Amino acid sequence: MLLDGNRVRDEILAECRSRVEALKAADHLPGLAVILVGNDPASEIYVRNKIKTCQALGIYSEKLTPAATSTTEEIVELVESLNRRPEIDGILPQLPLPPQVDPKKVQLAVSPDKDVDGLHPLNLGRLAANLPGPRPCTPAGIMELLRRYQIPIAGRHAVVVGRSDLVGKPIALLLMHQHATVTICHSRTPNLAEVCARADILVAAIGRPALITRDFIKPGATVIDVGTNRISDREEAARIFRNSARKLEEFDRKGSLLVGDVDPVDVVEIAGAYTPVPGGVGPLTISMLMVNTIEAAERELGKACFA
């Protein structure tokens, strides 16, 4: 079964529209501020898509573009000014930041109530304790995908490959809270294929193209591929896609191909359910950012609150 992230995204955004309308009726338009420091091309695309989605839902949005030479102190000062603005419910410093800017100090400066990335230590603590609060967007999107496709979690063995603060650790906690038995693996895990092959649910978030091959996948398992790796070597693309004429034609047209962390041919043959790349987990990240922004606005109105 192909787990279609685009379909789930559309469902989530449709649900968001009614919530935005209810907030408008209460005279509180949700507001999101995105801070884009410098001119990173990939970040510019991500931010453009976030602003576009806000506009489609009727969410107020601002894009702030400090110079690439900005210091940590200058970005922190900008964040603190946004904390004080009541019309801004969510603040998102777009990563990566330039090397001279300390991302941890910037994230700490964001008010926990406006932390729509779910990465402030207070909100990560709420996640660990299974208390209400904003969840990191990509892991939250994965959980929505599993829920809406009715993939059983309780009592299943889940293996997460990758231990990042952004995806690996949060998704492991979210799966644990749904009563999965969770194993976290990483680059130093011995016998990685053997560990992965025991998983009923396998989440690959390690950032290495097509690392997870058939030897890693239990027949019938649910495979969630978080990786987004751009392949610009034609020989590598031909190897990964087994000389697929369609894929090589696409490569020749675009000059590159997107590949996940899971082998795209093996996963179709062996998994019981899987997310494609592109079109799987990726579309859900922005939709969950919208959910976090709306929930922040609802908390501001007292419609919902942390426990």
Confidence of residue 301 (pLDDT cuts 50, 70, 90): confident
- My answer on whether 95 and 159 are in the same domain is no
Q: What percent of the chain has pLDDT over 90?
A: 93
Report the SS3 class of residue 160: strand
Q: Is 94 a catalytic residue?
A: yes
Residue 201 maps to a domain: yes
Does 305 score more than 80 pLDDT?
Answer: no
Residue pair 219/160 in contact (Cβ under 8 Å)? The answer is: no
* Cα gap 157→177, rounded to integer Å: 13
Confidence of residue 272 (pLDDT cuts 50, 70, 90): very high
Instruction: Provide the pLDDT for residue 307.
Output: 36
* CB crowding 225-239: b at 16 or more within 10 Å, else e: bbbbbebeeeeebee
Confidence of residue 158 (pLDDT cuts 50, 70, 90): very high
This prediction has a pTM of 0.93
Count of domains for the chain: 2
DSSP state of 303: S
> Which of these is catalytic: 50, 114, 169, 218?
50
- My answer on whether 64 and 106 are in the same domain is yes
* Cα gap 28→58, rounded to integer Å: 12
Determine the average pLDDT of the residues in 122-141: 96
Instruction: Provide the pLDDT for residue 39.
Output: 84
Question: What's the CATH code of the domain at 33?
Answer: 3.40.50.10860
Q: Is 178 a catalytic residue?
A: no
Residue 123 maps to a domain: no
Does 10 score more than 60 pLDDT?
Answer: yes
Instruction: Provide the pLDDT for residue 303.
Output: 53
Determine the average pLDDT of the residues in 170-196: 97
Please identify, among 81, 113, 145, the residue that sits at the C-terminal boundary of a domain. 113
Confidence of residue 302 (pLDDT cuts 50, 70, 90): confident
- My answer on whether 145 and 100 are in the same domain is no
Residue 215 maps to a domain: yes
Residue pair 171/118 in contact (Cβ under 8 Å)? The answer is: no
- My answer on whether 279 and 226 are in the same domain is yes
List residues bridging with 224 in a β-sheet.
Answer: 203
List, for residues 20-57, the tens digit of each pLDDT value: 999 999 999 999 999 999 888 888 988 999 999 999 99
Residue 290 maps to a domain: no
> Does residue 209 have a cis bond before it (omega within 30 degrees)?
no
Question: What's the CATH code of the domain at 268?
Answer: 3.40.50.720
CA distance readout (Å), 148 to 4, 141, 160, 194: 10, 10, 20, 29
Determine the average pLDDT of the residues in 149-176: 97
Does 101 score more than 60 pLDDT?
Answer: yes
> Which of these is catalytic: 89, 94, 107, 169?
94
Determine the average pLDDT of the residues in 205-217: 96
Please identify, among 47, 79, 113, the residue that sits at the C-terminal boundary of a domain. 113
Determine the average pLDDT of the residues in 78-105: 96
Reading the block at residue 81, the tokens are 């000014």
> Which of these is catalytic: 115, 117, 225, 261?
117
By residue range, what is the domain housing residue 108? 26-113
List residues bridging with 231 in a β-sheet.
Answer: 257
Residue pair 157/123 in contact (Cβ under 8 Å)? The answer is: no
- My answer on whether 74 and 141 are in the same domain is no
List, for residues 139-157, the tens digit of each pLDDT value: 999 999 999 999 999 999 9
* Cα gap 248→233, rounded to integer Å: 11
